[in-house]
Structure 1
Amino acid sequence: MSTAALITLVRSGGNQLRRRVLLSSRLLQDDRQVTSTCNSSTSEPRCSRFDPDGSGRPATWDSFGIWDNRIDEPILLPPSIKYGKPIPKISLENVGCASQIGKRKENEDRFDFAQLTDEVLYFAVYDGHGGPAAADFCHTHMEKCITDLLPKEKNLETVLTLAFLAIDKAFSSHARLSADATLLTSGTTATVALLRDGIELVVASVGDSRAILCRKGKPMKLTIDHTPERKDEKERIKKCGGFVAWNSLGQPHVNGRLAMTRSIGDLDLKTSGVIAEPETKRIKLHHADDSFLVLTTDGINFMVNSQEICDFVNQCHDPNEAAHAVTEQAIQYGTEDNSTAVVVPFGAWGKYKNSEINFSFSRSFTSSGRWA
């Protein structure tokens, strides 16, 4: 697509009706121009660059790399020119979020999303343990820490790695200066996503909160849980002098205390190999195929698998309804933990709706301690 045509297309992005009118008029103009230069013949295919296969079907937003969906968003002009295809603006107003306490005495989950710069959006979930202090610290300071790093470093994976380590160090200083000794055993997972130019998605994570991208209706895992069951993680714990012990339910814990091998905080376990350095992943979005990003805490992950999360979200009209549906489904399946979900819609929102979803009521009963 030429730059001039792209700019014209992008500037029409505020209203879907105007988009369709513009595309239709361009198709008609293009066909008239091409027809005048081609020999008229009923046996020859139509010569239009908007209809290369001669099928007679009009061009759609799929042709340009974005699906005409139920969430009407304008098109980002500079990134669209930079990448050579229309890229929708992701509005924070359309981001869905929900957090439920479950059967815990306190909700130690935290979540956040914000626009850091004109180009970069921020989304995060934090699942605290040993009290909410570490999760609160991340919720309060992570956004600013990343914002301060962005002008100094272009690589977003590096930005997130430096931010995680800086926040962990700052929390350590805060805890050691505090009179509250419980801060030394407070920790949190952290799963943070940055979206630049509406197309470059980078995720960093420590612990067992997760990030999933729904592509063509199927889940794409962007994070891997940091548990003592992972061979590489267990080897690091042992090399640093820590040990892995299994509880009565057969669940492995670092030094018999922590069910994860990476976290922010947990200062008493730093010398035993529990680190705050995240694993990161970068991916380029395809808005014609990618429906949404969802960040979840383990209150959901231990009860609902990735495909079920995609299916539940795809049934919902808007992301806020979807976030509540996911957390409520985890509760119906018997979770007792805090449950938090953040749903970020992309270009293919609503495209892969599945009318057939099987709800496992038997699993709901067996998963709950009341029915064990």
Structure 2
Amino acid sequence: MSTATLINLVRNGGFQVRRRAALRSRFLQDEKRPAAACSISTCERRASRFDPDGSGRPTTWDTFGIWDNRIDEPILLPPSIKYGKPIPKVSLSNVGCASHIGKRKENEDRFDYAQLTEDILYFAVYDGHGGAAAADFCDKYMEKYIKEFLAEEENLENALSKAFLEIDKAYERHANLSADATLLSSGTTATVALLRDGIELVVASVGDSRALLCRKGKPMKLTIDHTPERKEEKERIKKCGGFVSWNSLGQPHVNGRLAMTRSIGDLDLKNSGVIAQPETKRVQVKEGLVYRDSSTWTAQVFDAV
């Protein structure tokens, strides 16, 4: 934002403040004026929805239930200087999560969020199937693997891709050493987002869990489902010796079992072309200035994941 633009915003903001102050002063003067003498019959006011107590003053409507998405957080100075605009710090206290078990007997969904480094936040969703073993494994260890690769890799997309492949290998070792044979058929989707400097957002995904970005009130897809309906995915499955069949609802499945072509786990389908290599997407989160009071300008995040 140019200096001239910022000065213009401040001037306009100051004008609005002076205008509000003038109106407030006028209102207070009107309140202090003595009421005109009148008879009892004319002074008795009837209550209405705009004057419930008969005082003659308008009703002050409650604002309960109105969503306020402004972020009242400090500005990150180094990223703001780097990108040339104010960037607010995203606090994990503003992050919310919810999960619904649906019709299943066991909830196999897992989610997590954390401060990985001083400038990187981590958000993840794992939708398990065939048991919660794979989802639990990712929920427990994905953060660890990402940290290891971030220590040697500046590129967030590369770090996420390496972490996905490494945790899939680690789960295979874990399942092969376990006496529980069901771990071999357990799998999970994985959708992981890293936010660096409050502005650089990178998402990696396998399976059909989705990440969306709300931009100017409209949804923007950050992931594409990995299903046998995608031509390139179907071709890989067939090339690896697998097959695609459709159930009674017309839904395609790999080897008649799995509705996705990429996942972590599902070890019995690895030789049929089901892989853990994620697709990644990088976007820049948008912010802007929002006028707050007579002396403060703060940044508001326009996007929401």
Q: Which residue of 1 aligns with 2:244?
A: 244
DSSP 3-state at the match of 1:50: helix
Q: Which has the larger radius of gyration?
A: 2
Per the TM alignment, residue 252 of structure 1 is displaced from its structure 2 partner at its CA by 0.3
CA distance in structure 2 between the partners assigned to 1:168 and 1:58 by the alignment: 54
CA distance in 2, matches of 1:77, 1:86: 8
Aligned partner of 2:8 in structure 1 is 51
Alignment correspondent of 1:228: 228
- CA distance in 1 between counterparts of 2:108 and 2:90 reads 28
Structure 1 CA distance for aligned equivalents of residues 113 and 240 of structure 2: 35
Separation (CA, whole Å) in 2 of partners of 1:48 and 1:233: 49
When residues 82 and 102 of structure 1 are mapped into structure 2, their CA distance, relative to the original with a 3 A threshold, is same
1:347 aligned to which of 296, 301, 305: 301
CA distance, structure 1, for counterparts of residue 146 and residue 207 of structure 2 = 19
Q: Which residue of 2 aligns with 1:205?
A: 205
Pairwise CA distance, 1:69: 5.5
Aligned counterpart, 2:46: none
> What is the TM-score normalised by the length of structure 1?
0.62
Write the distance in 2 (CA, Å) between the matches of 1:231 and 1:77: 46
- Greater RCO (CA < 8 Å, at least 6 residues apart): 1
The structural deviation recorded for 1:259 is 0.2
CA contact under 8 A between 2:261 and 2:275: conserved in structure 1?
yes
**What residue identity is the alignment partner of 2:229?**
E
* Structure 1 portions without partners, runs of 5+: 6-46, 60-67, 290-345, 351-372
**Runs of 4+ with deviation above 4 angstroms:** none
Alpha-carbon distance between aligned partners in 2 of 1:92 and 1:264, rounded to the nearest angstrom: 27
Other-structure match for 1:171 = 171
| Equivalent residue letter for 2:162 | L
Distance 1:347 1:119 in 2: 17
Q: CA–CA distance in 1 between the matches of 2:212 and 2:136?
A: 24
| Contact 1:69–1:348 under 8 Å retained in 2 | no
Count of residues in Structure 1 that have an aligned counterpart in Structure 2? 242
**Alpha-carbon distance in 1 for matches of 2:234, 2:254:** 9
Structure 2 Cα separation of the partners of residues 166 and 100 of structure 1: 29
Q: Any idea what the Cα deviations from partners look like across 1:327-355, whole Å, max 9, x if unmatched?
A: xxxxxxxxxxxxxxxxxxx71379xxxxx
Contact 1:50/1:58 (<8 A) preserved: no
Unpaired stretches in structure 2, ≥5 consecutive residues: 15-67, 290-299
| CA 1:98–1:141: 2 relative to 1, 3 Å | same
Deviations, residues 272-321 of structure 1 (Å, cap 9, x unaligned): 000000000001111239xxxxxxxxxxxxxxxxxxxxxxxxxxxxxxxx
Query: What one-letter code is carried by the residue in structure 2 that aligns with 1:57?
Result: N
Deviation at residue 49 of structure 1 after TM alignment: 6.4
8 Å contact from structure 2 (residues 216, 303) kept in 1: no
SS at match of 1:161: helix
